Amino acid sequence: MKRTPLELDWLPPHADFEGALSHARTLSETGAPGWHALRALSGHRLDFLQTTRIDRLLRQTPPPPEVPRLRLALLGSFTLEHLVPGLRIGALRRGLALEVHVPPYGQWRQEILTHGSGLAAFAPEAVLICSAESDLVPSLPLTTPEAEVEAALDAAIADLVQAWRRLRAMGAAVIQQLPIRAAAPLFGHFDRLVPASPGAMAAEIEHRLIRAARAEGVLILDPMAAARAEGIDALQDRLMWLHAKQHVSPAAGPWFGDQAARILAGLRGLTRKVLVLDLDNTLWGGVIGDDGLDGIVIGEGSARGEAFKAFQLYCKALRERGVLLAVSSKNDPARAEAAFDHPEMVLRRADFAAFVANWTDKGQGLQRIAQELNLGLDALVFFDDNPAERALLREQFPEVAVPEVPEQPEDYVRCLAASGLFETVAHTADDARRAEQYAANAERRRLEIVAPDMDSFLAGLGMEMRIGPVERVDLVRVTQLINKTNQFNLTTRRYTEAEVEAMIADPDILTFCVRLTDRFGDNGIVCVVLGRLRPDGEGGRLLEVDTWLMSCRVLGRRVEEAVAAVIAGAARDAGASTVVGCYRPTPKNGMVADLFPRLGFHPAGGDGHSALWRLDLAAPPPPPPHIRLSVNPVRQ
């Protein structure tokens, strides 16, 4: 029996799709309002035809200048064009404008190898390779010895790795789709024990692909794992494969596009950072204000209680991964906090970076949480069992992601995981420590309250800053910061890991990686600066600051003054007489509009999109006295 196509059931259905599309079509002539209307429409559950219709209008609607953009090449040996609308709409859903290049059918390897090809001219920033099982699994007699099978599989992987390396040399992030299982078992359950059976080779090639991707810095898209709950028949249509070589069925195209768009959004730093939770009937069953501590349902003793406990366990695991947890609930604050003393509760009050329980509008609570954590509303995911509250929040704050929560708590984990809102393309030690770092920030705020003045507060922190070049071990974290930092970011230029790797190998680029510790703990990497040495036109050299970003967790501590002093010293050591900085305003980086003049830079022109500033190194700025500096020489 044919399976129902995969659906984006974590998104709410639309009550009037035709009316909303007509409204977006009217607005599309005005530019930005039309793009935002289409993005709002993409936040609903869509089928293949609806996705295609939105995409057709999207291609006629230029995105606003502040919207992040990404050039994606879609490569593979089978038909791919029908997947493009799902990719573009999946990216739109995450606030990303996607341009897609698809080579002619069957020509993707030639495009990689040919100088001046359409792929090279497109200059992709990311590449998604969609591999069919037949691309990688050799056709061998069933009696082939195991050693020969392994050699054939090794050759297939080696060939693909060469393609990855060529693409990374272009400066593109590479995403490899794991093949979708197509071969039917020949031996039943014995299939995996026959080395040359298609099933055994497919399983082995998948393991080897993952190991090779880990070694080569390649990302993985795993549609098999994502579709497992619904069944592979919902992802594939064998008739469409035989007729049109469509390895993913058109009906599953919107779902597939959304899966890939999650990774692309992660590359541009558009992953959400905070899970904001309601309390009653979301983290436990019942109402704490009415039922009391003994009356709420949580933990062993009932299937419903175990469902809520499983959801808390998943939230706890997200926190340990680096996602911040917060609460916005209409509740009595004392009773709400007391609920976490329940013996079956997995989450505790200390697990939440922000906690808002009162009788005001939940939207105000979200605003307060964003302010406390120094993040934008677009960093938040709000999970609430109440459909009326969800609808209101979507209307009031479209920047906040609000999944369509199922009625039964046993489906909560699947819903949140299926949304992909916390998809990441890297995980570092700094990510794992994020919750502790925000807890330490709360301690710093308490010290600031009792300190007699700002100088005393800063001196009492005992800050030590370590600055050195960006090393290969820093590559993942630095790329992550470049792509997700918006507020303290002078230019908001985005780079792939391959591009950053090329920069740290370039002798004309100075890189600065800044770590900060204080009496409350290790803040990790808090600042990244990339600068290029250029001739100044007068026989000397200058340092042009290409990228300067800093974590908002350390704002107000004069860290930027210490960084400026180190940049000036390194530039002078490299033979430069001037540092040139650029400020490119965006809707989110207004806080650094006056950074360069505050640091002693002078206006140096610019254009309608950016302003240039110059610092004469004859009198570089001194570092602030309350920060101890440890500086390693920057490579030249």
Q: Give yes or no: residues 58 and 72 share one domain.
A: no
Our measurement of the distance from residue 321's CA atom to the centroid of its chain's CA atoms, rounded to an integer in Å, reads: 14
Long-range CB pairs of 182-189, under 8 A, 24+ apart, other chains included: 182/132, 182/133, 182/134, 182/236, 182/241, 183/133, 183/137, 186/142
In contact, 76 and 245? CB cutoff 8 Å: no
Q: Give yes or no: residues 318 and 408 share one domain.
A: yes
As a whole number, mean pLDDT of residues 88-112 equals: 93
Of 123-137, 429-443, 586-600, the range with the lowest mean pLDDT is: 429-443
State the pLDDT confidence band at 636, using cuts at 50, 70 and 90: very low
3-state secondary structure of 320: helix
Q: Judge whether 636 lies within some domain.
A: no
Name the residue range of residue 447's domain: 433-631
Number of H helices, E strands in the chain: 25, 17
Instruction: Say whether pLDDT at 2 is over 70.
Output: no
Phi/psi class of residue 407: alpha, beta or left (left: φ > 0; alpha: ψ in -120 to 50)?
Answer: alpha
Q: Give yes or no: residues 232 and 249 share one domain.
A: yes
Q: Give yes or no: residues 153 and 38 share one domain.
A: no
Residue 472 DSSP label: G
Burial 12-35 (b: 16+ CB within 10 A, else e): bebeebeebbebbbebbeeeebbb
pLDDT number for residue 248: 79
Among 212, 240, 267, where does a domain finish?
Answer: 267
pLDDT in tens, 77-90: 888 999 999 999 99
Q: Give yes or no: residues 218 and 354 share one domain.
A: no
Q: Give yes or no: residues 109 and 249 share one domain.
A: yes
Position with higher pLDDT, 480 vs 635: 480
Instruction: Say whether pLDDT at 217 is over 60.
Output: yes
**Other CB atoms within 10 Å distance of the CB of residue 149:** 19
Q: Which has the closest alpha carbon to 577: 548, 606, 536, 547?
A: 536
pLDDT number for residue 511: 94
Q: Give yes or no: residues 496 and 619 share one domain.
A: yes
DSSP 198-211: HHHHHHHHHHHHHH
Q: Judge whether 1 lies within some domain.
A: no
pLDDT in tens, 527-557: 999 999 999 888 889 999 999 999 888 888 8
Q: Judge whether 159 lies within some domain.
A: yes
Question: Percent of the chain having pLDDT more than 90?
Answer: 56
Q: Give yes or no: residues 191 and 231 share one domain.
A: yes
Burial 243-274 (b: 16+ CB within 10 A, else e): eeebbbbbbbbbbbbbbbbbbbbbbbbbbbbb
232, two tokens: 């592979």
CATH assignment of the domain containing 586: 3.40.630.30
107, two tokens: 């020509």
pLDDT number for residue 3: 47
Q: Give yes or no: residues 313 and 374 share one domain.
A: yes
Q: Judge whether 428 lies within some domain.
A: no
pLDDT number for residue 1: 36
CATH assignment of the domain containing 379: 3.40.50.1000
pLDDT in tens, 257-268: 898 999 999 888
Instruction: Say whether pLDDT at 160 is over 80.
Output: yes
Please give the C-alpha separations between residue 462 and each of 522, 621, 625, in angstroms, as whole numbers: 12, 21, 11
As a whole number, mean pLDDT of residues 131-152 equals: 89
pLDDT number for residue 567: 93
pLDDT number for residue 5: 62
As a whole number, mean pLDDT of residues 87-111 equals: 93
Q: Give yes or no: residues 507 and 570 share one domain.
A: yes
CA separation for the pair 13, 394 (Å, rounded): 13
Query: Considering the entire predicted model, what is its pTM?
Result: 0.79
pLDDT number for residue 306: 93
CATH assignment of the domain containing 120: 3.40.50.1110
Q: Judge whether 425 lies within some domain.
A: no
51, amino acid identity: T
pLDDT number for residue 461: 85
User: Mean pLDDT over all residues of the chain?
Assistant: 88
DSSP 129-171: EE--HHHHS----TT--HHHHHHHHHHHHHHHHHHHHHHHHTT
As a whole number, mean pLDDT of residues 111-125 equals: 92
pLDDT in tens, 356-410: 999 988 999 999 999 888 888 999 999 999 999 999 999 999 999 999 999 999 9
Among 240, 267, 294, where does a domain finish?
Answer: 267
Instruction: Annotate 46-76 with three-state secondary structure.
Output: CCHHHHHHHHHHHCCCCCCCCCCEEEEEEEE
Please give the C-alpha separations between residue 217 and each of 93, 164, 192, 220, 325, in angstroms, as whole numbers: 26, 9, 29, 10, 30
pLDDT in tens, 490-504: 999 999 888 999 999
Any idea which residue has 């999946």 for tokens?
90
Cβ contacts of residue 341 below 8 Å, gap of 6+? 293
Q: Which has the closest alpha carbon to 550: 597, 600, 487?
A: 487
pLDDT in tens, 569-624: 999 999 999 999 999 998 889 999 999 999 999 999 888 778 999 999 987 778 88
Q: Which has the closest alpha carbon to 153: 171, 173, 139, 172?
A: 139
pLDDT number for residue 233: 65
Helix, strand, coil in percent for the chain, rounding step 5 = 45, 20, 35
In contact, 126 and 267? CB cutoff 8 Å: yes
Q: Judge whether 496 lies within some domain.
A: yes
Q: Judge whether 373 lies within some domain.
A: yes
Cβ contacts of residue 43 below 8 Å, gap of 6+? 11, 12, 93, 394, 398
As a whole number, mean pLDDT of residues 184-192 equals: 74
Cβ contacts of residue 414 below 8 Å, gap of 6+? 229, 406
Position with higher pLDDT, 248 vs 504: 504
Strand pairing class (611-616; 576-583): antiparallel
Among 419, 453, 473, where does a domain finish?
Answer: 419
Position with higher pLDDT, 230 vs 386: 386
CA separation for the pair 311, 314 (Å, rounded): 5
In contact, 612 and 605? CB cutoff 8 Å: yes
Instruction: Say whether pLDDT at 246 is over 90.
Output: no
pLDDT in tens, 26-35: 998 777 889 9
pLDDT in tens, 328-350: 999 888 999 989 999 999 999 99
Looking at the 3D structure of the chain, how many domains does it have? 4
State the pLDDT confidence band at 481, using cuts at 50, 70 and 90: very high
Q: Judge whether 2 lies within some domain.
A: no
CA-only gyration radius of the chain, Å: 26
Q: Give yes or no: residues 148 and 165 share one domain.
A: yes
pLDDT number for residue 561: 92
Q: Which has the closest alpha carbon to 42: 95, 114, 121, 3?
A: 95
pLDDT in tens, 519-531: 888 888 999 999 9
pLDDT number for residue 230: 59
Q: Give yes or no: residues 89 and 215 share one domain.
A: yes
Phi, psi angle pair for 298, to nearest 5° = -160, 135
